[in-house]
Structure 1
Amino acid sequence: MYSVKICLFLINLLGIASFAQELGNITIYNTNNSELNYNTINCLEFDDLNRLWIGTNNGLSILNEIDNSWINIGYDILESNITTLHHNTINGMSSMFIGTMNGIKQVSWDSDELNSNIQDWDWDNNVGNACEPNNGLINTILHNNSNQIWAGSTDGLCVENLGDEGSWLIQNTENGFYSSNITKIVKSDNSDMIAIGTINGGLITYETDFNIYYSSDSGILDNTVLDVAFDQNNNIIICTPQAGIGVLTNSGSWIWFNTINSDLPTNSLQNIIIDNNNSLWITTLENGLIKYMDNNFYHYNIINSELPDNNINCMKFGPDNNLWLGTETQGLIKIDAVETSIQQLKNPSINIWPNIFDDKINIQIDQAATIYMLNLDGQIIEKYIFKAGYNNINTDKYKSGLYILIVESNNDISIKKLVKPY
């Protein structure tokens, strides 16, 4: 039988799992090898025919990857850097909302083709200008199925049709928010909840009322939220510049991942996106790309991968689950969908659940086993001896945090990371 010392050695040496740090095939588009109009990319969005809209500091580029055709709309027409993009279908017409440094533009079309004659497109250059913050620098736009436009700027939040039809609601520091600088607005796919990130104003949610999570009265550790996402379980995941990743569970508890309690390589995070396997992809402020899968972090940068730039401004999943990245200086990157190769130290005859536990951990084993519960310092907290079949561990006395559970049976070992929410 393997000893616990060997298990701890494996944990320290391998970080729970051994993996091949491969991103898959990378394709780079820049001003030298393509018709991309600028190498600094601020935002990405796909339309209903999977054309990629690319917002840059020199206007818009639109890529049809099928035939490698490009449409460019320059600064001379848009009169501003492009800061954010959002697509939706409204009354049967495709619409792209374009956030700029001086307001919101909307372009709509009802045919499959966007011809290169930009003047033929249906443009609205003054979307929501009745709401004063919409005339400034736009950071984020959401158009939901209730025909509401949510726009976040450096001057506050504007929401159309939240009250009377055609009216605009303004939310900023003058009426209850702790910050007027709105960074991101996202709606859950599974409910009507909307999550809003801010600069130094905490996390804000809205379902029927606005609810603010601030460090003085909640479990949030950083009041600056640069990006927000909902996972498949309707948990809200936030990226912060100082405290790492925060997870507000659907039960209202907070879980935090940072450089102290996990393998997260940096606490300075910028963007987050979730793939079809519920894995997290995260960009850092200056240190490349991170993937979080099966309770493990995988880090990619210009040194250990083919990424050409550690500064990634935006991400978007496209057709075939390919990941597209917009960089600060090196243009556009496409990463072909390739799963990180992982070989877990686990026995398929052992089942441990849930990964995020509250008062109980369930263990199903087909033979007698010894169970060790360790903290992240490698200290054994509890030891259990279980018979074959269903067993459980009462965890009421466990403090919030990350734990390592080791199951030894004959010559087999299973190791699993578990989390108790704050």
Structure 2
Amino acid sequence: MPTMNVSCKIDQRSIEKYIKEQCALGDRVTLSDQVCAGLKLVINSQSCSWTYAYRKRGYRDGGKRHPQRTVKLGDPVSMSPSEARLAAETIKAQVRAGEDPALATRTKERERKAEEARKRACAEWLKIYSAQQMQLGKTKYQRDELRNIRLALNELTLMEAYPEEITSKHIRDLSDLHHARPATGRHRLGAISRFLDYLLDEEVINANPVASVSKRRKPKPPSPRENYFTPEQLAALWNIEGLKPSYQRYLRFMITSPLRANEAAKLTWDQVDRDRSEVRLYAEDTKNSEHFVMPLSLIATQVVLGNEQVQSELVFPLSSVENAQMSSWSHFNRCVRTTSGIENFILHDLRRTFSTLMAEHTDVSESLIDSLLNHKQSATRGGVMRHYQKSQNLDKRRDVMAKWGRLLEAWVGST
């Protein structure tokens, strides 16, 4: 905004005069007082305020003078010109005494804001964290992160407590709560630790209590799962009798394509490319928040397109509520176990089955197999290569999925 600078002895008459002039011109007007050097009245279209500019005495390292600082004193409604000059003289005296009034004012303001922040409960800070850092749960990772924080605070009855009340004992209690479920405990602890790191950055707390908990008291990594299905078990799963038709169709697709359960359950028809025989996952739908293309074998294409649900937006409408997301995964697994006779069935084990059987029955490299599992850090993308190797190897992936499809056709028979 253009500024008109005027030097004069500021009094009530000059203030009224230049306020009218500012309204007529629309430009900012700055009145510099001839009585008190450094005192100014800044007149804008919406506000009007007294300011005083000064330099701290002495020199900085290197022989340079200290930078000029400006302090806002008030407005002409609550402070007359003589009162503004008196306030400026007070600041001059503080500067002569070696003080830095502007820095002291900023420090007090920061302390005031920090004190206000400390008076907010964890529930309120979680809402702020969700909006500022987690995009209100836009991706699956963000939704899981917020869910684990919410559950951890509820388990410790800290949702209505102030963040500074969270101690290392609370963190140890959280670990003890999930002693029998180390994976859950690690998810809870990691999420709450990142939330507390955010509060530390915002100067709401002075330290993250998770840092003071010993490794011995933190949840241990769970033992890796080793279960996978044999070709005979895959045939039993494929040819299940008595399973709900929508469940059976989805199960067959999961056998043919090693997607994650949620990724496949959320597929919509606009993500299916019939001409190229592939499905495309959006970044917000994948665990690693990256766009991913899964080529479809012939048997997988037959599963997807053989019984197209025109009335539903979802490729696999698993919920009884139209176009609703699937949430009854334990019920799904239970139904499959009952009808197939495979008591240890877990849907996620189909991904491990794909990886294991492809390695056993083909000469496809493990890195290429792993790339089809869409892991964030696959065997081919570690270290420096992760930053330079960006190829998707789509043609090679198509060949891999075609080989997997031919193996399945031999094992499970026709659809």
Same fold (TM over 0.5): no
TM-score by length of 2: 0.21
Structure with the higher helix share, 1 or 2: 2
Q: Which has the larger radius of gyration?
A: 2
